Amino acid sequence: MAAPNPITHPRLFDSFSLDGKRAPGGLARIKNGGNRAMEYQEAQTPGEVGANLILRFQHVSRITYGIELWTKEHFDTWNPWIADIMAGKDLRPNPRVYKLQDARVAHNKINLLVFTECSSLLDLAPGKWCYEVSFGEKPKQKRIGGPVKAPANSVEAKIAALGAENKALDAQLAALNAAKKGGK
């Protein structure tokens, strides 16, 4: 089955939902953000020709929606919606995390958001207003890249084996000394 597109499903691309609740208003435009930025590092191994790109980390995505309101019903749904969003912000240091459903940014896998700010009421045109609401991504913590400690080489493995052998010999010597003292 093909993914939906804005031509065949225009209402799907007009708004977004947080935790299954559709944003109020008639239209929610993406004003800024919604992209997935990654940072790469160019690295070259000694003795090889050419360099490789290594993914260092993914930047946290930010997204700002312009929620356009032009009817009484839009404003009636706006007030309880923004009150709920603002209440989630007050749960610091761990603000409420919302599950985002937005077909426009689904390909970037931006799934979890926290509320960051809301603008004042902006006048777009006679009889049409807008609030700009911003969110920051709350990605699940996952480590990328290599292990924190470099793997041991053959010399370090020999040193560890000799250290274990020394401990065993020290334990034998201590037992013999204890038996010798006990026999006197």
Q: What is the tens place of the pLDDT at every residue in 62-117? A: 999 999 999 999 899 999 999 888 888 877 788 889 999 888 888 888 889 999 99
Contact of 25 with 133, CB cutoff 8 Å: no
Contacts of 87 (CB under 8 A, 6+ apart): 96
What span, in angstroms and rounded, lies between the C-alpha atoms of 106 and 127?
32
Residues in the chain: 184
Give the model confidence (pLDDT) of 5-52 as tens digits.
778 877 778 888 898 888 898 888 888 888 888 888 888 777 777 778
On the question of pLDDT at 126 being above 80, the answer is yes
Residue reference for tokens 């977004």: 16
The reported pLDDT for the residue numbered 145 is 59
pTM of the model as a whole: 0.66
Return the sign of the alpha-carbon dihedral for residues 31, 136, 101, 89.
Answer: negative
CB burial class (10 A; 0-12, 13-18, 19+) of residue 139?
middle
